Amino acid sequence: MDKRGIPYVWGGTSDRGYDCSGLMLRAYEKAGIELPRTAREQYGAFDRKIDWDRLKPGDLVFFSGLGHVGMISKPGYMVHAPHSGDVVKEEKLSSWRRQAFVGAVRPDPKGVRQWAELREQRREPVPASLTATL
């Protein structure tokens, strides 16, 4: 919440400016939880999804085909970095937001560790002994 008023900057992850996922990245980093960089990756990092009716402060909420993320700040509100020309702010969750809602996650250290393990597995080179046959 102390980042309110800082300008939106595409790709931003600092007090010079934040984009939506950069703001979430830094907020959770302060809590000791490492998140992936983009909204799509942040959503995909957790198997357990949270329904609209079960949102709690701290939940990450995703909208518009995973193109935007915010964090529930209190019941019925979220904090986010909306778009170019705007600033980090708290906003009431409107009916328009409800229609654009894709899903939500409740980040926890266990979930992020699982995501990190999967990421590392994907980076490992394919063993040389594997060959394809036709």
Cite the active site residues. 20, 68, 80
Q: What residues have CB less than 8 Å from 57, skipping those under 6 apart?
A: 72, 73, 74, 75
Phi, then psi, of 43 in degrees rounded to 5: -65, -45
Tell me the β-bridge partners of 105: 49, 60
Q: Is residue 57 a contact partner of residue 72, using CB atoms and an 8 Å limit?
A: yes
Other beta carbons within 10 angstroms of residue 41's beta carbon come to 15
SS3 113: helix
